[in-house]
Amino acid sequence: MSVRIIAIINQKGGVGKTTTTANLTYALAKVGKKVTVIDFDPQGHLAISLGLFSKQHVGIDAVMLGEASLEEVIIPVRENLQLVPAGTKLQDIELLNDGGVQRGDLLRKALSNSLQDQDFVFIDCPPSSGLLVANVLFATEEILIPMASDFMALQGLSHLMETIRKFEKVLKKTYKTQLVISRYTASRRLSKEVVAKLQHYFPKQILATVIRETALLAECPSFGKTILEYRPSSPSARDFHDLASDFLIGKVM
């Protein structure tokens, strides 16, 4: 079976995208899956979340610009988990003017015939709808959308789905799209209402486990640790363990 490439994407910031990426990929690695994660946000927050605090590493930017091979920029960060940093020139790719439609195909070409020994490649996308996200949508067949359980996140999802549909039409493919509920507060009526709306519009597409809002998840990145390392017995660590299981077996709401 070929490697599965999954984009973790949401054009709205603050929905728990990088938190989901770091913790889900580590949870999958812990159960023996071979995972590569690509920090595709010029801010480099995913690398920080996994303990790589220097931004001077050569990364996916150099691979896309033909300055390095993918193998040269991969950094092992945990057992079964390896990271491709963003690199300092990733923002420059967003501003490329030359190359026409080929500008959107740089990432797919960079990944082609690579990482075949991996089970999964996850791409942590920037909160935008520009050229970087276009590259991701060219390169992947699967999309995972973290959704905060608030009204504004619901509004942002509508715009994201329009973007996805446009790419499906142009590229003549249908993405396997799933959602994960993040930053969930069970005591808030709005949280429950948002989840109910999502279930109505995205039946059988929402992973069963919700990620509960907690201060612990916000603390982890400053220590370069995932929640499963920082507080392994916490409810949040259990959430991500269960979410990884949901992802593997396809358990949905």
Torsion angle (degrees, nearest 10) of CA 43, 241, 26, 215? 40
Q: What is the pTM of this model?
A: 0.96
Helix H or strand E encompassing 151: helix 151-171
pLDDT digits (tens, 9 = 90+) for 1-48: 689 999 999 988 888 999 999 999 999 999 999 999 999 999 999 999
Q: Which of 50-59, 68-77, 98-107 has the weakest average pLDDT?
A: 98-107
Tell me what pLDDT residue 25 has: 98
Structure token pair of residue 119: 């089970």
CATH number for 104: 3.40.50.300
Q: Are 100 and 73 in contact (CB under 8 A)?
A: no
The answer, yes or no, to whether residue 208 has pLDDT greater than 80, is yes
Domain around 35: 4-249
- The count of domains in the chain is 1
The yes-or-no verdict on residue 72 having pLDDT over 70 is yes
Query: What is the spatial distance between Cα 218 and Cα 202, in angstroms, rounded to a whole number?
Result: 28
pLDDT exceeds 70 at position 100 = no
pLDDT, one tens digit per residue, over 137-154 is: 999 999 999 999 887 778
Task: Tell me the average pLDDT of the chain.
Answer: 94
Q: Which residues, including other chains, have CB under 8 Å from residue 119's CB and lie 6 or more apart?
A: 3, 4, 28, 33, 34, 35
- Residue-wise pLDDT for 184-206, tens only, equals 998 889 899 999 999 999 999 99
> Which region among 185-194, 204-213, 219-228, 243-252 has the lowest average model confidence (pLDDT)?
185-194
